[in-house]
């Protein structure tokens, strides 16, 4: 009987005090979605399995995680694994909808996949999509919406983006057979999880030669310049670069360039994407995986309808559960931290000791990074210890009489005159 009281792996009960926080997150999301002109939609959790398994849906990888069942009429059904496929079904079933059509949906989805921090098998997705806009202004608006969501939640984030046309073109440029490109992209999407060496090994097993690998990774690992390839004979490369530049012009106008970065390795595993892809990460790194992601999928709706018509579409999905987990970790870190500030000397140990002594005399609790390690590891340490602020003390800053101070909660970094740091509100 005791085993019956245990939740299934990957599922969770949320007690009232937990659900109140989750409701707050949901309310913030809905408020921002509506402020940007998106309207609510609700679709069924139960779907025809053939819809979920369509070659135009999530692809073979996602099918391994589908919860499959039959009803009393012996019909083949499945639990939805995302909100995008049901949304495409709605657009296809309502051809008279006026475009552009902007909707959001918040609901449970199910994937029989690995369970880890912030990743369950039953979880809530919060999707925002627009159909009927070809221009990358739609992507720029979604990125702006994303930063507003996390600003209201008090969480610092940054966005990495890429373009599937550009990535496809670079794979073609490296000599990868067109029949293998989707498989290669699925493998490259694992690079953050399993590392570059393991990705290379898997690509070799899929038939990619050492020469192709060398050419591709040399290209992606170097300081890639869009201008070097803008006149490429490869159509995918040219179109991908044009779309990236258009998007960057909008991001620049929104003053978001410093919060976003082009990542040529970013692939997004689902095969539906046709242009821009992007992922959202927490600035403090308390959760390493993305907490929201999206991209452009211009072809999937038309293919569901078996028509040659394209329905330009782009969307983003927020993971409510992973956002909630991040807020829990942040709250726990803030509770346990006995230190106000970590000073990280960059070849400035003596000056760091002097600064720490001066701040301690002002009753500021200060810790100094005593190890000679990379900056990222020191920042990870500060995050795990729940230290709210970090001062980076480098020789360049000293020469200017300044320090860099980083708010580990928001990710915001700014320069302060050394004399002013004692007055800073820790």
Does 82 count as an annotated binding residue?
yes
Q: From 283, 267, 324, select the one nearest 408 (Cα to Cα).
A: 283
Does 83 count as an annotated binding residue?
yes
CA-based R_g, the chain, Å: 24
Q: From 329, 335, 372, 377, select the one nearest 352 (Cα to Cα).
A: 372
CA separation for the pair 188, 194 (Å, rounded): 10
Long-range pairs, 147-154, Cβ under 8 A, ≥24: 147/256, 147/259, 148/32, 148/35, 149/28, 149/29, 149/32, 149/318, 150/280, 152/28, 152/31, 152/32, 153/25, 153/28, 153/323, 153/327, 154/409, 154/410
Q: Is the dihedral angle over the CA atoms 194, 164, 270, 30 positive or is it negative? A: positive
Contact in structure between 360 and 366 (CB atoms under 8 Å): yes
The DSSP result for 273-295, as a single string, is --SEEEEEEETT-SS-S-SEEEE
* 101-110 sheet: strands from edge to edge: 39-40, 101-110, 122-131, 313-319, 292-296, 276-282, 157-163, 260-262
CA separation for the pair 219, 239 (Å, rounded): 18
**Residue keyed to tokens 């569901």:** 304
What CA–CA distances, in Å, run from 231 to 200, 238, 242, 245, 282?
A: 29, 7, 11, 14, 36
Does 125 count as an annotated binding residue?
yes
Q: Of all helices (H) and strands (E), which one includes residue 228?
A: helix 226-229
Does 183 count as an annotated binding residue?
no
Q: From 135, 159, 165, 295, select the one nearest 229 (Cα to Cα).
A: 165
Does 71 count as an annotated binding residue?
no
Does 256 count as an annotated binding residue?
no
For residue 157, what are the β-bridge partners?
282
Q: How far is CA 254 from the centre of its chain?
A: 19
Does 135 count as an annotated binding residue?
no
Binding residues for L-histidine: 82-84, 111, 125, 129, 268
Known binding-site residue numbers: 82-84, 111, 125, 129, 268
């Amino acid at each position: 009987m005791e085993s019956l009281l245990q939740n299934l792996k990957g599922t969770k009960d949320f007690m009232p005090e937990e659900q109140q926080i989750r409701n707050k997150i949901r309310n913030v999301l809905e408020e921002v979605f509506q402020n940007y002109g998106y309207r609510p939609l609700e679709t069924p959790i139960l779907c025809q399995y053939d819809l979920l398994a369509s070659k135009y849906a999530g692809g073979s990888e996602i099918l391994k995680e589908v919860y499959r069942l039959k009803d009393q009429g012996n019909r083949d059904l499945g639990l939805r694994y995302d909100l995008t496929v049901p949304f495409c079904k709605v657009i296809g079933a309502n051809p008279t909808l006026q475009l552009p059509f902007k909707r959001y949906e918040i609901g449970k989805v199910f994937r029989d996949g690995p369970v880890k921090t912030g990743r369950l098998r039953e979880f809530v997705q919060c999707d925002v999509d627009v159909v009927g806009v070809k221009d990358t202004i739609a992507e720029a608006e979604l990125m702006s919406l994303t930063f507003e969501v996390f600003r209201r939640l008090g969480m610092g984030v940054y966005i990495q983006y890429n373009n599937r046309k550009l990535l496809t073109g670079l794979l073609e440029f490296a000599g990868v057979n067109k029949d293998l490109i989707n498989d290669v992209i699925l493998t490259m999407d694992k690079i953050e999880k399993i590392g570059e060496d393991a990705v290379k090994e898997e690509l070799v097993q899929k038939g990619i030669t050492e020469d192709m690998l060398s050419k591709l990774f040399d290209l992606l690992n170097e300081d890639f310049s869009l201008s070097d390839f803008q006149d490429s004979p490869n159509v995918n490369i040219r179109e991908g670069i044009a779309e990236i530049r258009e998007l960057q012009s909008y991001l620049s106008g929104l003053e978001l360039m410093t919060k976003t970065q082009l990542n040529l390795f970013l692939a997004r595993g689902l095969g539906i994407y046709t242009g821009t892809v992007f992922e959202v990460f927490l600035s403090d790194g308390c959760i390493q995986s993305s907490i929201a992601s999206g991209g452009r999928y211009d072809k999937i709706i038309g293919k569901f309808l078996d028509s040659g018509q394209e329905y330009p579409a782009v969307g983003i999905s927020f993971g409510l559960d992973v956002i909630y987990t991040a807020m829990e970790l942040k709250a726990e870190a803030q509770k346990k931290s006995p230190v106000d500030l970590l000073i990280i000397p960059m070849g400035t140990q003596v000056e760091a000791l002097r600064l720490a002594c001066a701040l301690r005399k002002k009753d500021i609790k200060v810790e100094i990074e005593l190890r000679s390690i990379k900056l990222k590891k020191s920042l990870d340490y500060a995050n795990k210890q729940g230290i709210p602020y970090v001062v980076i003390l480098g020789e360049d800053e000293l020469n200017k009489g300044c320090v860099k101070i980083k708010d580990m909660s928001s990710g915001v970094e700014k320069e302060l005159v050394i004399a002013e740091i004692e007055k800073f509100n820790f």
